[in-house]
C-alpha cells in the first residue's frame, strides 16, 4: 500500500519523496520534449532562423514550423516541461499543431501532474491531521493501583485530557493479557481477556471533562480474582492494556490512545490523591499531582480470600 506507506513515513522522508517526484517527472518529460524536438529537427541550427520569428522572418509559405517553439536545448525543454506541468505559461514556448505526438505528450504530462498532485497533497493532508497527534494529549497515570473501594478490592487507574477541546463519544476498554492453558492442555501464550468496568454512565462510555479514575471491581468473574501482592513483580506474566477511543471535536477524526501496566507497575494498597479543587466558584485541576498516590489500609490477600473470609477486613 504505497499511500499508507507514505503517510507512515517520517516528515523528512515524505518531503524528500514529494520533491523528488516532481523533479523526476519534470526531468523525464523534459527529456521527452527534447527528443521530440530533436526528432523533428527543431534543434537543427540551419532551420532556426526560419522557425523562430524572433530571430528571423518566418512569414513565407515554406516556413519551418517546430513542434514546440523556442526549444533550443535540453534546458529550454526542461523549462517547458515545468511550464506544462505546473501551468505557469510564460508565453515564450508553446506547442504547435505540427506534431500530433507533442499534443499527446502534453495530455499525458498534464494527467501525470494531476495524479502526483492528488497523491502528494492527500498524503501531506493525512500526515498533518493524523489522529495520534491528538492522542498524545490523552494521558494515563504511570502506575495503576489496587485498593479497597466500597468494601471491595478494585483495580484503578487515572486518565485525563490536556486539551480544552473535548473528545466526543469517548470509550475506554481494558484487557488482561497473560499466558493461560485450557483443560485440554492447549497453551495460549497471549490470551486476551476483557475487564468489565464500573461506570455509572453505562457501558464503556466516559465524559472526559476532567481527569477520571477508572476502576474495575475484582470479583469472581475477574481475571484478577487470584492476584495478591506477592504476584506483583516483574517475573509475573501479566499485562493490563488500556485503550481509550473517541472522536476529536475539532476535526471529527477518530483517535485512539493506548497504555499498558505490567505486574510491577501495579501498586497494592494505594490510591490516587485528589487533584480537582474548587476555587472561587470554579474547578481547577492540578496536573502536577496527576500520578501521585498515597498508602491506604488494604488487606494483603486475594479477592477470593477476602470474599471467603470477611473477617480479614
- Shared domain for 42 and 160, answered yes or no, is no
Reference 219, options 198, 199, 240; nearest CA is: 198
Reference 298, options 144, 149, 143; nearest CA is: 149
Is 31 or 254 the better-scoring residue by pLDDT? 31
End residue of a domain, out of 74, 105, 129: 129
- Shared domain for 87 and 191, answered yes or no, is no
- Shared domain for 84 and 33, answered yes or no, is yes
pLDDT of residue 204: 78
* pLDDT at residue 201 tops 60: no
* pLDDT at residue 131 tops 90: no
pLDDT of residue 9: 86
* pLDDT at residue 256 tops 50: yes
* Poorest-pLDDT segment among 178-182, 263-267, 282-286: 178-182
End residue of a domain, out of 102, 129, 156: 129
pLDDT of residue 56: 47
pLDDT in tens, 231-252: 888 888 889 999 999 888 877 8
- Shared domain for 100 and 217, answered yes or no, is no
Give mean pLDDT, residues 272-291: 89
* Poorest-pLDDT segment among 6-15, 128-137, 145-154: 128-137
- Shared domain for 74 and 116, answered yes or no, is yes
- Shared domain for 144 and 202, answered yes or no, is yes
* Poorest-pLDDT segment among 40-49, 107-116, 130-139: 40-49
pLDDT of residue 142: 94
End residue of a domain, out of 129, 149, 167: 129
Domain of 181: which CATH number?
Answer: 2.60.40.1400
Q: What percent of the chain has pLDDT over 90?
A: 36
Q: In whole angstroms, what is the distance from residue 116 CA to residue 84 CA?
A: 14
CB 281 within 8 A of CB 215: no
Query: How many independent structural domains does the chain possess?
Result: 2
Q: What percent of the chain has pLDDT over 70?
A: 91
- Shared domain for 220 and 271, answered yes or no, is yes
* pLDDT at residue 200 tops 70: no
Domain of 52: which CATH number?
Answer: 1.10.287.70
How many of the other CB atoms lie within 10 Å of CB of 212? 18
SS3 category, 131: helix
* pLDDT at residue 47 tops 80: no
Is 83 or 127 the better-scoring residue by pLDDT? 83
Under DSSP, the state recorded for 219 is -
- Shared domain for 122 and 138, answered yes or no, is no
Domain region containing 171:
133-312
- Shared domain for 141 and 229, answered yes or no, is yes
β partners of residue 155: 146, 216
Q: Quick one: how far is CA 196 from the chain centroid?
A: 28
- Shared domain for 180 and 296, answered yes or no, is yes
- Shared domain for 196 and 284, answered yes or no, is yes
- Shared domain for 275 and 306, answered yes or no, is yes
Amino acid at each position: 500500500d504505497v499511500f499508507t506507506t507514505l503517510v507512515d513515513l517520517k516528515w523528512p522522508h515524505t518531503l524528500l519523496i514529494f520533491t523528488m517526484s516532481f523533479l523526476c517527472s519534470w526531468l523525464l518529460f523534459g527529456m521527452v520534449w527534447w527528443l521530440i524536438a530533436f526528432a523533428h529537427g527543431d534543434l537543427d541550427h540551419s532551420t532556426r532562423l526560419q522557425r523562430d520569428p524572433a530571430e528571423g522572418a518566418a512569414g513565407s509559405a515554406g516556413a519551418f514550423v517546430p513542434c514546440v517553439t523556442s526549444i533550443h536545448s535540453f534546458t529550454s525543454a526542461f523549462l517547458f516541461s515545468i511550464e506544462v506541468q505546473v501551468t505557469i505559461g510564460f508565453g515564450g514556448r508553446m506547442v504547435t499543431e505540427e506534431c500530433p505526438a507533442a499534443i499527446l505528450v502534453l495530455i499525458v504530462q498534464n494527467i501525470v501532474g494531476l495524479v502526483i498532485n492528488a497523491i502528494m497533497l492527500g498524503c501531506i493532508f493525512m500526515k498533518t491531521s493524523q489522529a495520534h497527534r491528538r492522542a498524545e494529549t490523552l494521558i494515563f497515570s504511570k502506575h495503576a493501583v489496587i485498593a479497597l473501594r466500597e468494601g471491595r478490592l478494585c483495580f484503578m487507574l487515572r486518565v485525563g485530557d490536556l486539551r480544552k477541546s473535548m473528545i466526543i463519544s469517548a470509550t475506554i476498554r481494558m484487557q488482561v493479557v497473560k499466558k493461560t492453558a485450557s483443560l485440554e492442555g492447549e497453551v495460549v501464550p497471549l490470551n486476551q481477556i476483557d475487564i468489565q468496568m464500573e461506570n455509572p454512565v453505562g457501558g464503556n462510555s466516559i465524559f472526559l471533562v476532567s481527569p477520571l479514575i477508572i476502576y474495575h471491581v475484582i470479583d469472581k468473574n475477574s481475571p484478577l480474582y487470584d492476584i495478591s501482592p506477592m504476584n506483583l513483580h516483574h517475573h509475573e506474566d501479566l499485562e493490563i492494556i488500556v485503550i481509550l477511543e473517541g472522536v476529536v471535536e475539532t476535526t471529527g477524526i477518530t483517535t485512539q490512545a493506548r497504555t499498558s501496566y505490567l505486574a510491577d507497575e501495579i501498586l497494592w494498597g494505594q490510591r490516587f490523591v485528589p487533584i480537582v479543587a474548587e476555587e472561587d466558584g470554579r474547578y481547577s485541576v492540578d496536573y502536577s499531582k496527576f500520578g501521585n498516590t498515597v498508602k491506604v489500609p488494604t488487606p494483603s490477600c486475594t479477592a477470593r480470600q477476602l470474599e471467603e473470609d470477611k473477617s480479614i477486613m
